Structure 1
Amino acid sequence: MTPPLAVDTTPRGWLRDLAGGVRHWLGLAAAAALLAGLCTLVQMGLLAWLVAVLINDSRSVASLTPVFVALLGVLVLRGLAQWGQERAAFEAGLRVRERVRESLLDHLAALGPVRLADRHSAALGQQLVEQVEALDGYFARFLPQLRLVMLLPAIILAVVAYLDWLAALLLLLSAPLIPLFMALVGMGAERLNREQFVAVSRLAGHFLDRVRGVSTLQLFNRTRASIDEVYAAADDYRRRSLRTLRLAFLSSAVLEFFASVAIALVAIYIGFGLLGYIRFGPADGLTLFSGLFVLLLAPEFFQPLRTLSQHYHDRAAALGAADGLIERLKQPAPSIPAFATGDSAPPRITLRGVSLAHAGRGRVLGPLDLDVAPGECLVLVGPSGSGKSSLLQALAGFVEPAAGTLAVEPRGPSAWMDQRPWLIQGSLADNLRVVAPDADDTALEAAIAGAHLGEVVAALPDELATPLGERGFGLSGGQAQRLALARVLLSRAPLVLLDEPTAGLDAITEAAIVEALQALRRQGVTLVIATHHPALVALADRVVDLARPPTAEERPNDVSA
């Protein structure tokens, strides 16, 4: 498991902490970029010298072959340096995205389905994909360029000042205009990117809800209205995207304008100085070499600043994404002890004064004292709302007790099954391997047989490779339940939690599930079942009625339904 990220209170601080983990890659990218910039400086110097020599000294091209070879070598070295910069920057962005995505997945797993019940799956998917990907430009492009812009323009300015201090003064006076406009643009771009991420999350959830409910919409003749709603949401996102692009293009045009004006001023000064119309300061000392060299270096002086301004929108996008990611990572998760190493034995469960509460509902269960022996089959009964599902969620580690202590020792993996099994779009085998990715076909077939689903699978055209739609589309309710039970069998979890596993099923399917649970009992698995069905109650070693929960003074054998 990836170590949890230290979540700073601000997006800038959080991004700074992430940058610390890839500092060496960012330094390597900046060093390679600086080498490429120095190669460009040498290249421009060689070009200016070649032109000056060919024009002033009338030397033959053949006599300058060594210089041309040196120029070619500089070009090759510059290309290699640029490749190294791109490679190191890509590696920095990749490692940051991997770390953030793994930490986010670990945090979502720690939160569990109960704490994420009010979060749309489309919004979570958008965070895992788009918002994490939005960090790439900040680390792969903006940060290396930020380091480069601190060094290369200063080196070029020093060379220009050595050749002509007045030209260097013109460059120095115009340079601050670019960072100034970058800061002005960044004030609005960060806000627009944050709003855009919120809008696309809502759009994804809106569209997914309509797709999932398309059958209901058709039954009530609401398909046209739902299409119009999706169109309106998409059009709102389009407008927000165009607003962000408009700001980006406008800022780039302004920055290019000021850079072009500064370069033009330098060109005018050099031209008139070489013609003898300017005799102020160092203009009298201008030569064809120095003038051409300064003119060639003027665009290179602004190039790092212009590139940084282009990547400044990557910074705004990263800050907007970081705002949502920080909010998710700071959501408190239950403190669950680590799993015991090695083969986990059936656990002993101990509850002392445990109370459970939900936001907006207050206390839903407790205080409760309960002991479950290893390998015991405990059945929870009681009217709806008595806290059966909440207790199972606490045993699974999805929620923490509001009061009291709950111990599951040893804490190993647990299997969960309820009346609405979670099935993914994929084959039957894919749905089984969710709990055991390395399971072979023999293990899958054994689990299918244990869940009494063998005849159903054999009748399918592709058997285990038969594709299923989202939420098990293609299977009946009973078949989906038995597939979920096969997944429980395949997991070999020492603790199995079942929430109304036979609700709404026919007698034949119910009997098949009961028989499979009897096989689990014989294996010594600890079973905790919440149910109203007599067939499941008959399995129990002990029945606990949560309408009258046991206390510490009562012996287990004294508690009955």
Structure 2
Amino acid sequence: MAPIVQVFASLLWLPQAGLLAIGVGDIAAGRGVTDIYWLAAGVVAIGMVRAMLDAAGSRLAFRTARDVLSEKRKYAISALAARSPLDIDRPASGFAASVLAEQAEAIVPYLARFRPARLKATIVPVAIVFCVLPISWTAAIILLASAPLIPVFMALIGWRAKTASEKQLVEMGGMNAFLLDRLRGLATIRSLDAVDLTARRLLDNAQSLATRTMAVLRIAFLSSAVLELFAALGVAMVAVYVGFHLLGQLNFGAWGQRMSLTEGLFVLLLAPAFFEPLRELSAVWHDRASGEAAIGALDRLSKHDVAVPGIGRNETSNRQAAVPGVHIEGLTFRHEGSNPVVFVQFDLDILPAEHIALLGPSGSGKSTLLALIAGLAPSDAGQITLGNIVLTPASAAELRAGIAWVGQKPHIFAGTIKDNIALGRPGVGFEETETALRKAALQDVVNARGTAQVGEGGSGLSGGEVLRLALARAAANPHAGLILADEPTAHLDTVTANEITQNLLAISAGKTLIVATHDPVLASRMDRTIVLPSTTLLERA
């Protein structure tokens, strides 16, 4: 709708130019000023309507573009949330944040400016040619001959611009991902004395991004220069022809008769307007390259080969917490797009309230097995049963409501410790939070911090306190009868690891617990240890 309004506003120049030409012709013919009042009023009235329509169309186009961007962002975020953690093609968080927050903004000028300009460049010049042709076929031919040169050169430049914009977006996303990764690992970088190396790498990335950006800007300036050149030549040729024709030097091109001053002035007024939509299109041609690259990046984020089963269903369970056993039969799984098979006809039985440790070398599939039990990815074959319910896409959401997950790198949100425990979950109130704090031994930390908030990513908390917070989250879940813990004591000193082990056993009392670990001390505290041999994971080609 918005492009049509803007096109109609541009077409109003045709009657406005006609009134102007008639008015000047009447004055040149000796008529009084009083005779052209109605023409002046018509020019002013059409100009006001034209301005209002153009402004309304621009506002409508901008709002429509923002709505489209919001919808695409929403869809991309939903797709990212639905992607399984076992999806090996899952984009880095820094890259995804760069696409969603920065690069996606290029869609707005593409939709709000380029598309209306493209429609105007398609309709308005054709309408002007049809107005000029009955007056002078020579002027119409001049316009038609000069017009194709502009889109041809713009297309040649546009292909180059799109390629340069895509490379710039990739470079920007890669730099943001690198920066976010290094910010998360500042402590490790300092401990390895790699600060200068990281700074040089970041500088190289910044210089590469600057080079890509300047390449895009050079192409944008080149496209504008090319259009201005051909537009100026076209208008000049029409002006030369009309001028010499009115002087009687060129007696052809007006259907066998000489053009009047009114007709010649009308043609001259329309000549710049013929090229105006093309000039406007050139000015926003760079928006097309950036916008299409941004749409492509968002669309790639919106695709997911491996989705979490049952995503989008209500994961809140109103039933009492059950302590399920776990029965795995004939499980086969391989990562999407990857040759190695992680599990082949794997079987496992875990009794209700039994505590199990999964041991094995790196790559044997411990974390993958936990993710499959939690229903975070579909298996290729086999069956997983929790309690008496088979894990399927239809039952996955309900079963996940009865599972608590303790990861080795839990994400901590900016806010209070209690807010990070409750996470806004229904059924997790004051009493559940206090109980979770006591079981995870976090009461002293809360008392010491008072009302002070935790920074994003756990800033202000030690590694042990972050893991205790993750344990408290699991303990606060009123429906959790199964706890899955992935390397809860990794990278901790012996004293802290023993404390985390004790806290984990406290919150899992009377519940089924499955722990993936390399820690033999933690494994010794479990009821049973299951060793996943390296042969479970086939050798990579």
Answer whether TM exceeds 0.5 for this pair.
yes
**Quick check: 1:276–1:284 contact (8 Å CA) kept in 2?**
no
Task: Say which SS state the counterpart of residue 239 (structure 2) adopts.
Answer: helix
Equivalences for 1:253-402 in 2 at 5 Å? Answer: 253-282=225-254, 284-334=257-307, 336-337=309-310, 339=313, 343-345=317-319, 346=321, 350-358=327-335, 362-365=340-343, 367-370=345-348, 376-385=352-361, 387-402=365-380
In structure 2, do the counterparts of structure 1 residues 508 and 191 end up closer, same or farther at CA, with 3 Å as the change threshold? closer
How many angstroms does 1:125 deviate by? 1.7
What residue identity is the alignment partner of 1:164?
S
1:351 is paired with a residue of what secondary structure? strand
Match of 1:40 in 2: 13
Whether the 8 Å CA contact 2:329–2:382 is kept in 1: the answer is: yes
Structure 2 unpaired stretches of 5+? 385-389, 534-541
Q: Which residues of structure 1 form unaligned runs of 5+?
A: 1-27, 549-561
Return the offset for 1:55.
Answer: 3.8
Deviation (angstroms), 1:387: 3.8
Q: CA deviation at 1:76?
A: 2.4
Instruction: Give how far 1:256 is off.
Output: 0.8
Q: How many residues align?
A: 508
Structure 2: how far apart are the matches of 1:285 and 1:360? 77
8 Å Cα contact 1:415-1:491 kept in structure 2: yes
Please give the per-residue CA displacement for 1:361-401, whole angstroms capped at 9, x wherever unaligned: 8344453334667xx33422242335432211112233332
Query: In the alignment, what sits opposite 2:539?
Result: none
The range that moved more, 237-246 or 475-484, is: 475-484
Which of 495, 505, 513 pairs up with 1:514?
A: 505
Are the structure 2 counterparts of residues 502 and 234 from structure 1 closer, same or farther at C-alpha, using a change threshold of 3 Å?
closer
Deviation of 1:110 after TM superposition, in Å, equals 2.3
1:556 corresponds in structure 2 to none
- Partner-residue secondary structure (3-state), 1:472: coil
Alignment partner of 1:95 is 2:67: yes
Distance 1:91 1:254 in 2: 31
Amino acid at match of 1:483: L
- Paired AA for residue 61 in structure 2: A
- Asked whether 1:109 is paired with 2:89, we answer no
Q: Distance in 2 between matches of 1:280 and 1:128?
A: 60
SS at match of 2:484: strand
Shift of 1:474: 1.1
Give 2:48's match in structure 1, choosing from 76, 91, 97: 76
Among 484, 493, 508, the alignment partner of 1:497 is: 484
After TM superposition, the structure 1 = structure 2 runs for residues 426-465 of structure 1, keeping only pairs within 5 Å, are 427-428=416-417, 431-432=420-421, 434=423, 436=425, 448=437, 451-463=440-452
Tell me if 1:484 matches 2:470.
Answer: yes
Distance in 1 separating the partners of 2:431 and 2:39: 71
Identity of aligned residues (%): 32
- Equivalent-residue separation in structure 1 for 2:53 and 2:422 (angstroms): 46
3-state DSSP of counterpart to 1:32? helix
How far the C-alpha of 1:303 sits from its partner, in A, is: 1.2
Specify the alignment match of 1:20 in structure 2.
none
SS at match of 2:41: helix
Distance in 2 (CA, whole Å) between partners of 1:371 and 1:146 is 64
Q: Could you tell me how far apart the structure 2 residues matched to 1:184 and 1:259 are? A: 17
The Cα shift of 1:502 comes to: 5.0
* Corresponding letter in the other structure for 1:497: L
Query: What is the aligned partner in structure 2 of residue 545 from structure 1?
Result: 530
Q: How large is the Cα RMSD of the aligned pairs?
A: 3.4
Q: Residues 432 and 383 of structure 1: is their aligned pair in 2 closer, same or farther, counting only changes over 3 Å? A: closer
User: 1:377, 1:539 within 8 Å by CA — same for their partners in 2?
Assistant: no
Corresponding residue for residue 19 of structure 1: none
Residues 283-307 of structure 1: per-residue CA shift (max 9 Å, x gap): 8532222222211111111111222
Does the 8 A contact of 1:138 with 1:318 survive in 2? yes
SS at match of 2:209: helix
TM-score of the superposed pair, with normalisation by structure 2 = 0.82
**Segment drifting more, 352-361 vs 197-206:** 352-361
CA distance in 2, matches of 1:455, 1:202: 41
Q: Which residue of the partner structure matches residue 27 of structure 2?
A: 54
1:443 offset after TM fit, Å?
A: 7.2
Shift of 1:265: 0.9
2:457 match: secondary structure: helix
Paired amino acid for 2:6: A
The one of 453, 460, 473 aligned to 2:459? 473
Give the CA deviation at 1:449. Answer: 5.2
Give the Cα–Cα distance (whole angstroms) in 2 for the partners of residues 73 and 128 of structure 1.
44
**Quick one: structure 1 residues 87 and 216, their matched pair in 2 at CA, closer, same or farther if it must change by over 3 Å?**
same
Counterpart CA distance in 1 for 2:43 and 2:418 is 61
8 Å CA contact 2:375, 2:400 repeated in 1: no
Partner of 1:18: none
**Aligned match for 1:135, one of 94, 98, 107:** 107
Helix, strand or coil at the partner of 2:328: strand
Matching residue within 227, 241, 244 for 2:199: 227
Aligned residue identity for 2:530: D
Letter matched to residue 111 of structure 2: F
> SS of the residue aligned with 1:285?
coil
Distance 1:335-1:211 versus aligned 2 partners, 3 A rule: closer
Once the two structures are overlaid, the 10-residue window that deviates more, 147-156 or 282-291, is: 282-291
Q: Contact 1:379–1:537 (CA<8 Å) still a contact in 2?
A: no
Give the Cα separation in 2 of the matches to 1:534 and 1:367.
30
d(CA) in 1 for partners of 2:524, 2:344: 22
Deviations 1:180-200 (A, max 9, x none): 111111221121112112211
Match of 1:318, as an amino acid?
G
Asked whether the 8 Å contact 2:330–2:381 carries over to 1, the reply is yes
Distance 1:534 1:223 in 2: 35
TM-score, scaled to structure 1: 0.79
Post-superposition Cα deviations, 1:66-116, rounded to whole Å, max 9, x if no partner, equal: 443333322222122112322332233223322322222222222233325
Distance in 2 separating the partners of 1:70 and 1:447: 77
In structure 2, how many angstroms separate the alpha carbons of the residues matched to 1:481 and 1:443? 18
1:194 and 2:166 matched: yes
Q: Distance in 1 between matches of 2:194 and 2:348?
A: 51
Contact 1:44–1:296, Cα closer than 8 Å, also in 2: yes
Q: Distance in 2 between matches of 1:84 and 1:462?
A: 50
Encode CA deviations 1:239-298: one digit per residue, 9 max, x unaligned.
Answer: 111111111111210111000100011111222222222222328532222222211111
